[in-house]
Amino acid sequence: MGDIAVVTTYAQVIKLAVPNAHLTIYAAGDLPKGLGGVIRHPWYRRRRQKVLMLIESIVRVLWSLLSQILSHLRHSTKRYDLVIDSVADRFNERYDCGDSVYLLGMTLLARIFFRDSIILVGPTSIGRFRSGLTRRFARFVLDKVDVVIARDQESKQNLSKLSIRSQIFLIPDIAFLTEPRLTCDTVREWCQSYEGFLVGITPNRTMDDRHPNHYCRLMAEIIDWLVEKMGARICMIPQHEPAWGKTDYDVAQKILSQTRNKGEVKIVSEILPPGEMKGLLGTFDVFIGCRLHCCIFSISMGVPTLAISYGEKMTHVLGELLGDRHYICPIEGLSLDIALSRLEQLRSVGSENLKRKTIHMQAEAYTLVHLVRNLARRRTPTSTD
């Protein structure tokens, strides 16, 4: 969902900034229908084994270089005035050093193959780079692009430490600009048919992988408490569906199997597009989010949100949004008592207060439209891809 939300919202931003723009999206995975201009990424393919992914990318890059020598690729890439690297995370070593190096390498290839284009990276989380080698590689790559957008203060500080010559901007996550809608009749009717306390939850397969004996049991206990003590009805919305391995839906089923109140829990079986997801989250009284962009969606819809995090990115991005990290709980060491205490306190958080806080963030995020428009004006007006 995170990648899809970024790409689909970026398409909206570009159309707002440059209405006559011709958009081409290089996609490593499946994207929602209706975007237009979606083609397979020439070098990047998601594979379960990282070694195979690296080998395949090298082969594809060598073929692209050969094509360029034969003038095939060179002629086909001249028309791109602006190239956007929309990866919203992983320019760091919080998860895997290999991922960081690989994705930085993809950015470098964009600079090589689209050398006459303006290259924009972000909004993204960047750093901290814990090894000197990776930090130097990050400096070398990001120094070659034209614009880097950090989505939180810590990332901007990390960029400043790299001492790159590229323009650096601080703009909130692009998900603030996602337009909400709710046209999924089955989900809407289920939510609207209940007049009591309605709680939404997004499960997270990564948390289950890292805390297999803790995460699902904790979520099941939270659900039982919400149903038995607060009379709540629960809606679990799986967000991430990878090409292989366990999905968020599998984790939702695992959580459900451990609850006592299965009849009060619904699992949304389809992966909702970003706008649908944002519209659905706006119908809840309280939301328990285990993924960043869903938390941004719910907070921007004025829904009191408990964010359960597994990395620093949620703490930094949401902490700046809320101005208070009290409702951001790392999964490491999170007890049932702490979670329930935070949930009880959430009931006193007014939706109007949350909406006021997000108005400023949405206005700041809209500066991305102005930035894209200004970058487009730096190019010739004949095309704005």
- The identity of residue 326, as a single letter, is H
> If you ran DSSP here, which 8-state letter would residue 168 be given?
E
Domain CATH number, residue 230 = 3.40.50.2000
**CA nearest 9: which of 379, 320, 365, 357?**
365
Residue 383 belongs to some domain of the structure: no
The angle formed by the CA atoms of residues 153, 158 and 156, to the nearest 5 degrees, is 35
Please state, in angstroms and as integers, the Cα–Cα distance from residue 19 to each residue in 14, 31, 332, 384, following that order. 7, 22, 46, 9
Q: Do 225 and 248 lie in a common domain?
A: yes
pLDDT digits (tens), the chain, 385 positions: 566 777 778 777 887 888 877 777 766 655 555 555 555 666 665 555 555 666 666 666 666 655 654 454 444 445 678 888 877 676 765 656 667 777 788 888 888 878 888 889 888 888 777 778 888 888 998 999 999 998 888 888 888 888 888 999 998 888 888 888 866 666 666 666 667 788 999 999 888 888 888 999 999 999 999 999 888 899 999 887 665 678 888 999 999 999 999 988 988 887 788 888 888 888 888 899 988 888 888 888 888 888 998 777 777 777 766 666 667 888 888 888 888 888 888 776 666 667 777 787 888 888 888 888 888 887 654 444 4
Q: Do 18 and 119 belong together in one domain?
A: yes
Question: Looking at the structure, do residues 256 and 300 belong to the same domain, yes or no?
Answer: yes
Query: 277, 248 in Cβ contact below 8 A?
Result: no
- What CA–CA distance (Å, rounded) separates 52 from 183? 40
Residue 158 placed within a domain: yes
CB neighbour list of residue 121: distance below 8 Å, 6 or more residues apart:
84, 85, 87, 91, 107, 142, 145, 147, 148, 149
For residues 321 and 290, state if they share a domain. yes
Name which of 104, 88, 82, 105 is nearest 155 in CA terms: 88
**b/e per residue 112-147 (b: at least 16 CB within 10 A):** ebbeebbbbbbbbbbbebeeeebbebbbebbebbbb
Q: Same domain, yes or no, for 14 and 57?
A: yes
Burial status of residue 33 (CB atoms within 10 A of its CB: 0-12, 13-18, 19 or more) = exposed
What is the dihedral angle through the alpha carbons of 126, 201, 193, 280, rounded to the nearest 10 degrees?
Answer: 10
289 and 372 both lie in a single domain: no
Residue 179 included in any domain? no
Report the pLDDT value the prediction gives residue 302, as an integer from 0 to 100: 84
Q: What is the DSSP string of 35-104?
A: ---EEE-SS----SSHHHHHHHHHHHHHHHHHHHHTTHHHHHHTT-SEEEE---S-BSSSS-HHHHHHHH
Classify residue 132: in a domain, yes or no: yes
CA distances from 341 to 33, 225, 231, 382 (A): 42, 11, 17, 58
- The tokens describing 332, both together, are 């490491």
Tokens of 54: 């690296």
Q: Give me the domain span that covers residue 109.
A: 2-172+363-377
- Secondary element (H or E) of residue 367: helix 367-377
Copy the structure tokens of residue 41.
């990424």
Domain annotation covers residue 180: no
Which phi and psi (to 5°) does residue 8 adopt? -65, -40
In this structure, the answer to whether residues 139 and 81 fall within a common structural domain is: yes
Closest by CA to 123, choosing from 330, 316, 278, 359, is 316
Does some domain include residue 358? no
Q: Are residues 22 and 151 in the same domain?
A: yes
Strand partners, 278: none
154 lies in some domain: yes
Quick check: is 178 in a domain? no
Task: Say whether both 202 and 101 belong to one domain.
Answer: no
* Total domains in the fold of the chain: 2
For residue 235, give Cα distances in angstroms to 120, 192, 252, 286, 342.
Answer: 38, 12, 10, 11, 19
Q: Are residues 93 and 129 in the same domain?
A: yes
Contact 169, 369 (CB under 8 A): no
Both 124 and 247 in a single domain? no
* Helix (H/G/I), strand (E/B), else coil: 247: coil
Alpha-carbon distance values, 42 to 26, 61, 304 (Å): 7, 8, 42
Q: Could you tell me if 68 and 200 lie in one domain? A: no
Cis peptide before 115 (omega within 30 of 0): no
Confirm whether pTM is higher than 0.85. Answer: no
CB 4 within 8 A of CB 242: no
